[in-house]
Chains A and B, each alone.
Chain A
């Protein structure tokens, strides 16, 4: 039982980074209808910039995190305005933006490889308080506590922002019908820029937390997050932030519990098998409500 609980906490910790990542990824899909393959590189760049701020200026963790968020957010806005905005004006469908995002994925990935010199770096071990909480026979490292708490704060905050604030209402309006929103006086471009910033910013937080928990800052960091984020959003449901978060935690749990109780070697197989099962049985996702099957 203790082992099970320990693994559940491990699963929640790793799932937290997936959930944070998936919410931004899902938000972009819901409001802008973009399946952004480059989203993972925002996480990579967030970690690279954060680590750079940490090492070069000796900033403490939180300011370094903020620098990482600002850096990734700026990249996200630049990508959107350079690449996606022209397509949006033309009213391109789904495929065009995917291809553009593959373009940015190549560029940002290659640049990250050049900047890091293809080497794996790490945040110092004391970037977060070291040590453990011992309770009920469980050992929970502080860094897991921080990850889980940051995730909860971000998820609740983002959900509150989108569902309860004026700005969030504008975002949802742009998501459901950009033209009508624009006609009713919403500055859609500004909303889109903010959404792009929030999405890239949250991706970078996921990236930094993931980098710390796996001791890995490299140009491939975002790749894993992207694939898990994909899976999370599909499992939870597109267009619903709670769904994306739920999906993230489920993917994290299935990964850790699958490795513990089924087979370590096949843990990704279980994750992506779950994904495939959901796609076949309930393609709109657990909390989604889009109709996605054909009547033919």
Chain B
């Protein structure tokens, strides 16, 4: 054992230091920030530790604490201009920081020794390195599925969806980048102490690229992946050195290429077993929608329609769209649209493909800015607010094509919806406070209730992507409801559902309305609009064709002709209207 430590002890110490670099990169990556900035952050604290230790004799333990603060501060400053960029542009910008850090190091010779470099006396103990690494790993492990962790996962998977649930995307990225900076700060101090000599090339692109590669090699979906990657990258060439005289690092390159081809999610992938099962279950899966649901799902259908239930409870105006216009290039997606939705009502938006319905929804939820006009929510003009600001006005939405967070389970997906209501902070999960445990247990219970309420068939701990399409839609509705909206926007909620499923969604809409929610539904499915919406607008080519009772609108000859066109559709609408007059017939 002792002999082994003599041979590989220092390599293992370096592997631990590199693990800190990798963890730092991993933390940023979790929030979808492809950052190489761990290296310049570490450069700052590395050289500061050189000065503090050599010139002022400060104890390394204190330097570590200073390193944490300094790293986080550097990350905050670097993040200010960069975080509004898209992920791979952030990566490029952080490379620029790596390069500039080296120039600075070269040019403040008094401090850094310029191109000659300067020695550092080692004062850190092995157990201290291990302690720092365990601490960093502990924090990441505890934040795997915390409020921050779930939000970060959401931001990485679908930033726009996260924002629609009230997650401040840039805020989460800033926080994760600051955590990344803090860990990189530790890495800088530890690494400086271990190498015992700092030069401009100590913290340079090579380290940045290699650390990014190590994280992805080990697995960017679990904190242990970063550590595994760093250990493989450091130990493997060292072991090969026994047999090779040069080029031992080539093995790392080969390993990277092979892993990217055969294990694209890295060596450690918490969802691997599940994903493998999906493949084998794929065929059974396709059937789920038609048979399993109908057979095993107790639908509890009541047969209620808009006419058989009482009027909604609210009397104000939930949503007002005033003269809203939006053009993409020369194409007018929405043209001078004006309508109101009463509070506590159900409202349908119908129109053929390309009528501008989904654009309308994006204009309301803030993900698209109108060229002209205003959107007023509950009496407040919200035009120009960002999606998460609008979400904090208690607006939620679902999407035309399902947008679930694929790296989260069903329950975790729904729990992202609770984001705005949670009170636990950064330290609660780390210190395992009572508050944290209580909140987690309560919200898990609520998420299960929501699953039941919208009728999700599936296990709570199942990855969302393994559900059938209709069930994914239901999870999306549950997630939107978790944010406890006053206004719920649904984009084709029944697409891909069979008839009974559609009816269940319709009845859910009515139930929500009876609790005071306002529900706006975009639909192709006219039955849903006729049976469950109090009022509706018909759109075509971005313009309003009709506003009023769904039955009245669809009876208008100009709507039928100008827009459904074909005779068959006209007949179909007539028969639908006939049905409405004689329910049950």
Contacts and interface: CB of A to CB of B under 8 A. Distances in A.
Interface of A: 35, 37, 82-83, 86-87, 90, 92, 94-96, 98-100, 102-107, 110-111, 113-114, 223, 227, 230-231, 234, 265-266, 268-269, 272-273, 275-276, 279-280, 283, 292-296
B85 interface: yes
Given A269-B103, A272-B100, A294-B170, A105 B209 contact: yes
Contacts of B91: 35, 98
A107 B386 contact: no
Contact of A106 (B89, B93, B252): B252
Interface string B66-95: 000000000000000110111111011101
Contacts of B367: 295
B84 A293 contact: yes
Contacts of B264: 87, 90, 92, 96
B483 to A, nearest CB: 16
B89 A99 contact: no
**Which of A98, A102, A292 has the largest count of B CB atoms less than 10 A from its CB?**
A102
Interface stretch (B242-250, B330-338, B348-356): B242-250
A83 B257 contact: yes
**Main SS at interface, chain B:** helix
Contacts of A231: 96
B388 A95 contact: no
B141 interface: no
Given A269-B100, A296-B163, A100 B92 contact: no
Given A95-B34, A104-B253, A295 B85 contact: no
Contacts of B216: 95-96, 99
A279 B89 contact: yes
A105 B209 CA distance: 10
A284 to B, nearest CB: 9
Contacts of B97: 276
B88 A94 contact: yes
6 contacts: A100-B257, A103-B252, A113-B247, A280-B81, A283-B89, A296-B168
B89 A103 contact: no
**Main SS at interface, chain A:** helix
A273 B253 contact: no
B256 interface: yes
A290 B252 CA distance: 35
A234 B388 contact: no
Contacts of B169: 294, 296
Contact of A272 (B86, B96, B254): B96
Contacts of A83: 257, 260-261
B205 interface: yes
A107 B85 contact: no
7 interchain residue pairs of minimum CB distance: A103-B256, A106-B253, A107-B253, A296-B169, A269-B103, A103-B257, A103-B253
A276 B96 contact: yes
Contacts of B247: 110-111, 113-114
B107 interface: yes
A239 B97 CA distance: 23
B212 interface: yes
B261 A86 contact: yes
Nearest to B386: A296
Contacts of B387: 295-296
Interface in B255-293: 255-257, 260-261, 264
A221 to B, nearest CB: 15
A268 B99 contact: yes
Contacts of A98: 91, 212
A86 B257 CA distance: 10
B117 interface: no
Contacts, number: 145
Contacts of B250: 106-107, 110-111
Contact of B260 (A96, A283, A293, A296): A96
A294 B86 contact: yes
B93 A103 contact: no
Given A96-B260, A279-B89, A272 B103 contact: yes
B581 to A, nearest CB: 46
Contact of A230 (B84, B95, B213, B252): B95
B92 A234 contact: yes
Nearest to A92: B264
Nearest to B246: A114
A279 B97 CA distance: 12
Interface in B85-131: 85-89, 91-93, 95-97, 99-100, 102-104, 106-107
B212 A296 contact: no
A83 to B, nearest CB: 5
Contact of B159 (A100, A269, A279, A294): A294
A111 B547 CA distance: 72
Contacts of B163: 296
B217 interface: yes
A106 B252 CA distance: 8
B276 to A, nearest CB: 16
A201 to B, nearest CB: 22
B508 interface: no
A65 B72 CA distance: 49
Contacts of B107: 265-266, 269
A171 to B, nearest CB: 21
Contacts of A230: 92, 95
Contact of B386 (A86, A105, A268, A295): A295
B82 A37 contact: no
B85 A279 contact: yes
A122 B81 CA distance: 42
B256 A106 contact: yes
Contacts of B382: none
Given A94-B88, A106-B250, A87 B260 contact: yes
Interface in B343-394: 367, 369, 386-388
A10 to B, nearest CB: 20
B79 to A, nearest CB: 12
B92 A105 contact: no
Contact of B253 (A105, A283, A294): A105
A246 to B, nearest CB: 17
B96 A275 contact: yes
A266 B103 contact: yes
Contacts of B255: 103
A193 to B, nearest CB: 18
Nearest to B34: A95
Interface in B198-213: 205, 209-210, 212-213
Contacts of A280: 81-82, 93
